[in-house]
Chain A
Amino acid sequence: MTTDTTHKAAGTELAENHAETHGMSNAGYIRIAAILAAITALEVSTVYIDFGPFFLPALLIMMAVKFIMVVSYFMHLKFDNKIFSFMFYAGLILAVGVYAAFLATFKFFIQ
């Protein structure tokens, strides 16, 4: 009985530590999802509304914001150990660099 109570207390402590580590409540996740849905709606609106010269930059910025929000909050990278961020962003930055150079050799950016 005492051991059982100790285990339950340890479990509660572990869960609390997790909440502290991850720093988000379910309501927070729903708010993030609502923002992501709103940005997606705004992205789709660019197909039907003329944004002029802001079309491409606006789309790319919205894409980047959605990407960062999912990685930071849903994947908990913002609240986790920095080495996880390093492992992921190292791969991402390497990919962007390598493929930007690859596309540049085919004169993709000056078409």
Chain B
Amino acid sequence: MTDAAVHGHESSTGISNIKLGMWTFLGSECLLFGGLISTYMLYRGRVTGGPRPAQIFDIPFTSVSSFVLLMSSLTMVLAVSAAHKSEDKKTNLWLTVTALLGATFVGGQVYEFTAFYNEGLGFSTSLFGSSFYTLTGFHGVHVTVGIIMLMALVGIFKRSEVPGKKAEVVEMIGLYWHFVDIVWIIIFTLVYLIPV
């Protein structure tokens, strides 16, 4: 059975158009985050004023945040699995848990940014500060957009106004959410764990 047939609709290529579009979008997002990560790697040692990375990074705190985001990927995949089995209540539950875990991660990032600012690292303090806030800020915005999509999906499900197949809509948002997770896997290693 072709992929499109499994998803309950046909396309001239035999595969789901919406899924192909999402994967193309995620491929292009690699270029966006690649640019931001490269710029950070280039500027992370450029500290003329303000604190250096090793002076302000709180590895235990960021490790817990990373773990929370990683576990949100598990709850997201469980939501996708439940959606494929047409278990609406479980799907809504796992989507809500995913959104809550994502909100916890973003809350942690807001706390971290506030702590760094109080320790003297502003956006324009140094090239390190600018590139750090731009990279992690862009990622945080992506997570926030993901949370909004998850909550919107839960609300739409409750009204049963989902356009097209429910499972495919959940799967597309799941792909976006997992992408945000894999970007953080890279940021966590390159930004936080590898010293300057």
Chain B nearest Cβ from A35, distance in angstroms: 11
Residues of A16-55 at the interface with B, using a CB-CB cut-off of 8 Å, are 17-19, 21-22, 24, 26, 29-30, 32-33, 36-37, 40, 43-44, 46-47
Decide: B6 and A91 in contact? CB cutoff 8 A. Answer: no
For chain A, the bracket of interface size reads 35 or more
**A63-B84 in contact given A36-B70, A75-B178 (Cβ < 8 Å):** no
**A43-B26 in contact given A33-B74, A70-B182, A94-B31 (Cβ < 8 Å):** no
**A70-B23 in contact given A15-B85, A21-B6 (Cβ < 8 Å):** no
What's the Cα separation between A37 and B178 when bound, in Å? 15
Decide: B27 and A80 in contact? CB cutoff 8 A. Answer: no
Additional A-B contact list (18), CB under 8 Å, known A70-B185, A75-B179:
A14-B8, A15-B84, A15-B85, A40-B63, A43-B193, A67-B186, A74-B74, A84-B19, A84-B20, A87-B20, A87-B23, A88-B30, A89-B27, A91-B26, A92-B30, A95-B30, A99-B37, A103-B41
Question: Which residues of B line the A interface, CB within 8 A?
Answer: 1, 3, 6, 8, 13, 15, 19-20, 23-24, 26-31, 33-35, 37-38, 41-42, 59-60, 63, 66-67, 70-71, 73-74, 76-78, 81, 84-86, 167, 174-175, 178-179, 181-182, 185-186, 188-190, 193-194
Determine the main DSSP class of A at the interface with B: helix
Partner of B31, one of A24, A47, A60, A98: A98
For A75, give the chain B residue with the smallest CB separation.
B178
What's the Cα separation between A25 and B160 when bound, in Å? 27
* A81 interfacial contact with B, CB 8 Å: yes
Decide: A44 and B24 in contact? CB cutoff 8 A. Answer: no
27 contacts between A and B (CB under 8 A): A11-B86, A15-B86, A21-B3, A24-B81, A26-B78, A29-B81, A36-B70, A37-B70, A40-B67, A44-B193, A47-B59, A59-B193, A62-B189, A66-B182, A70-B181, A71-B182, A74-B74, A74-B76, A84-B23, A90-B27, A91-B24, A92-B27, A92-B30, A95-B31, A98-B34, A99-B34, A108-B42
What's the Cα separation between A18 and B7 when bound, in Å? 8
* A56 interfacial contact with B, CB 8 Å: yes
